[in-house]
Amino acid sequence: MDFEKVAKYSALHPKPAGLTLQYGTAGFRSKAEHLDHIMYRMGLLAVLRSKKTKSTIGVMVTASHNPEEDNGVKLVDPLGEMLISAWEEYATCLTNAEEQEIQNILTEICQKEAVNLHQDASIFIGRDTRPSSEKLSQSVIDGVSSLGGQYHDYGLVTTPQLHYMVCCQNTQEHYGKATVEGYYQKLSKAFGELTKQASSCGDDQRSLKIDCANGIGALKLKEMERYLPKKLLIHVYNDGIKEKLNHLCGADFVKVYQKPPLGLEIKPNERCCSFDGDADRIVYYYNDTAGHFHLLDGDKIATLISTFIKELLTKIGKTLEMAVVQTAYANGSSTRYLEETMKVPVHCTKTGVKHLHHKAQEFDIGVYFEANGHGTVLFSKAAEEKIRQLAKEEKDNQKREAAKMLENIIDLINQTVGDAISDMLVIEAILALKGLTVQQWDAIYEDLPNRQLKVKVADRRVIDTTAAETRAVTPPGLQEKIDELVKKYRLSRAFVRPSGTEDVVRVYAEADTQVSAETICPYSSCIV
Ligand code: G16
């Protein structure tokens, strides 16, 4: 390692005195002006991770749903998954080190992980549309270069596009071509094939309004449009030309406040959806004729997709084990519907797609979605092979057609991480194939009324949780108070947890009526 070069560049990316940050739910997030040294150091760490795994590693500069003034960075592991947790600790340690400690920490990581320093390193870099992102990604490049790593700067891409390209590169393009164009071609082809199968159901042209949170999603959807079959008419809103990223719009805003985004006028019963700032989350919604807003969140998406897959599995007559993975935010009605009506096993993990992803990998088919719209479907290698073989060789027409649909779902869904564009295409295809309106989809089950709040506290780390974040273990007495409170309301539950992406505590409550949920929620936040 050329420590002199590392030290020389490091001095150009100084750490603000007294600042400590943690690798949180999805990497580091903070005000953009705090992040320069972190970007440089994540460039360094990505090189070591690349040498260790002998693979290309991704570095994405984004703070996704956070306000425009924030920024962040997350590292992407070889198959497009989030960075493994042991290395999250190295990331935190390196980030919080004083300048003179950097050399020792890098050496320690190399020793512990037996990193071969002679191994080549390759890093893929991407960024979102925040004004601060370009400069910060340059700092990542400085980090990569000062340790002699090679890099490919993809510039403006959605987070899931970068995950996809890392996976393509490390699977010798078995997963697809490691270019943005390759991504458009793969998804559009699978979508075209799937919806071709829908045309026999007599479906006409479908149109969808998409709120892009004034972020990267708008840019990428516009690029992708020319690849997509004309049967899907997409109308992009909040494209970032005039307004600020995530301001009163986007998937997070719509989910938390349960109202439509600014900048998108909804006609009664019109199907609309919102992406978040880096296009890895999606939620759907519509207004009914009485003007009431209806949200179809990650739980409704998981139900739609898993119902569809289960029907196809029944048709092909193969026993493949499918499960749904959720978090504590999943609406109680969705869990009940999946378990009791659909007879699909449901598992609950901590918040953060990294946790859901790992759990979903345990099944032949793992459908995972956070209620906030972040999720995807994973097919095990064995399941994928079986499906592809049936799609090619099965003699029975009906079975073969069902297997082909599953094969196209495999190609359409971005299995590396939740992806708003890919999820949107899967949902649109399923709705077309099943001939479902958004209202019919919504009516599959009725959500329990719920409320979510963000609460500012002096130090959110005083709250520690257990049981997949459904119970608080500290501060003492907090959980007992919540238990006492929820006892008073029917079908109610509530929990609090510190956010891993924003400096807030999140409070969630649900109950049999909206009034009860609203009463519990502000009350829970008072306790905090
Ligand atoms: C990130 C994570 C999600 C998580 C969300 C909120 O989303 O990828 O898994 O649900 O943060 O996390 P928290 O409640 O800990 O703040 P995004 O879209 O912001 O990258």
Confidence band for 1, pLDDT divided at 50, 70 and 90: confident
> Which residues form the catalytic set?
64
The mean-pLDDT minimum among 244-253, 302-311, 452-461 falls in 452-461
Residues 113-134, mean pLDDT to the nearest whole number = 97
Query: Among the CATH numbers 3.40.50.300, 3.40.50.1400, 3.30.310.50, 1.50.10.20, which is that of 450-527?
Result: 3.30.310.50
Fold equal for 182-294 and 298-442: yes
| Candidate from 118-132, 228-242, 276-290, 368-382 with smallest mean pLDDT | 228-242
Average pLDDT over residues 382-410: 96
CB contact at 8 A, 279 and 421: yes
Q: Is 387 left (phi over 0), alpha (psi -120 to 50) or beta?
A: alpha
CA 277 – ligand 1 centroid, Å? 12
Q: What is the 274 CA–ligand 1 centroid distance (Å)? A: 16
pLDDT at 177 over 80: yes
Q: What pTM value is reported for the model?
A: 0.96
Task: Tell me the mean pLDDT in the region 237-246.
Answer: 94
3-state secondary structure of 209: strand
**Rounded Cα–Cα distance for residues 492 and 433 (Å):** 36
- Does 80 belong to an annotated binding site? no
Angstrom CA distances, 317 to 335, 386, 451, stand at: 25, 12, 41
The confidence score (pLDDT) of residue 306 equals 98
Residue 526 above 80 pLDDT?
A: no
Of 278, 295, 258, 281, which is closest to residue 352 (Cα–Cα)? 281
According to the model, what pLDDT value does residue 57 have? 98
Q: Quick one: average pLDDT of 242-257?
A: 96
When pLDDT is cut at 50, 70 and 90, the band that residue 2 belongs to is: confident
Percent of the chain topping pLDDT 70: 98
Pocket probe for ligand 1: among 357, 374, 497, the residue whose CB has the most ligand atoms within 8 Å is 374
Query: Is the model's pLDDT at 197 over the cut of 80?
Result: no
pLDDT (0 to 100) of residue 343 = 96
Q: What is the mean pLDDT of residues 488-493?
A: 95
pLDDT at 204: 64
Looking at domain 3-156, its CATH superfamily turns out to be Alpha-D-Glucose-1,6-Bisphosphate, subunit A, domain 3 (3.40.120.10)
Q: How far does the centroid of ligand 1 lie from the alpha carbon of residue 352, in Å?
A: 6
pLDDT computed for residue 126 by the predictor = 98
Quick check: bond before 475 cis, omega within 30?
Answer: yes
* Best probe residue, ligand 1, of 351, 454, 505 (max atoms within 8 Å of C-beta): 351
Taking 80 as the threshold, does the pLDDT of residue 244 lie above it? yes
* Per-residue pLDDT at 524: 64
Mean pLDDT, rounded, for 78-83: 97
% of the chain with per-residue pLDDT over 90: 92
pLDDT for 31: 96
Please give the class, per CATH, of domain 182-294. Answer: alpha beta
**Average pLDDT across the chain, whole number:** 95
Stretch 490-514: mean pLDDT: 94
When pLDDT is cut at 50, 70 and 90, the band that residue 522 belongs to is confident
Q: At residue 41, does pLDDT exceed 60?
A: yes
| 506 within ligand 1 shell (Cβ under 6 A) | yes
∠ CA 185-189-190, rounded to 5°? 120
Region of poorest pLDDT, from 91-105, 138-152, 202-216, 461-475: 202-216
Q: Which residue has the higher pLDDT, 311 or 231?
A: 311
Ligand 1, residue 277: give the atom nearest the CA: 18
Residue of the CA atom closest to atom 3 of ligand 1: 352
pLDDT at 206: 87
CB count within 10 Å of CB 412 equals 22
User: Closest residue (by CA) to atom 5 of ligand 1?
Assistant: 352
CATH number of 298-442: 3.40.120.10
Residue 200: predicted pLDDT: 52
In this prediction, residues 434-450 reach a mean pLDDT of 96
Ligand 1 touching residue 358 (CB < 6 A): no
The model's pLDDT over 346-355, given as tens digits with 9 standing for 90+, comes to 999 999 999 9
Q: How confident is the model at residue 523 (pLDDT cuts 50, 70, 90)?
A: low
Count the Cβ atoms, other than its own, within 10 Å of residue 334.
25
The atom number, within ligand 1, closest to the CA of 278 reads 18
Mean pLDDT of 120-138: 98
Query: What pLDDT is recorded for position 271?
Result: 97
What's the whole-number mean pLDDT along residues 99-105?
A: 95
Instruction: Note the pLDDT of residue 199.
Output: 61
Ligand 1 atom nearest to CA at 280: 18
The domain locations on the chain are: 3-156, 182-294, 298-442, 450-527
Tell me what pLDDT residue 32 has.
97
Q: pLDDT class for 231, splitting at 50, 70, 90?
A: confident
Which residue from 66, 23, 56 is spatially nearest to 41, judged by alpha carbons? 23
Q: Which residue has the higher pLDDT, 265 or 197?
A: 265
Lateral strand order in the sheet of 322-327: 346-349, 322-327, 365-369, 375-379
Q: Which atom of ligand 1 is nearest to the CA of 506?
A: 14
Q: Calculate how far, in angstroms, residue 399's C-alpha sits from the geometric centre of ligand 1.
A: 39
- In which residue are the tokens 């992803």 written? 357
Q: Exposure string (b/e) for 263-277, b if CB count within 10 Å is 16 or more?
A: bbebeeebbbbbbbb
H or E element, residue 494: strand 493-498
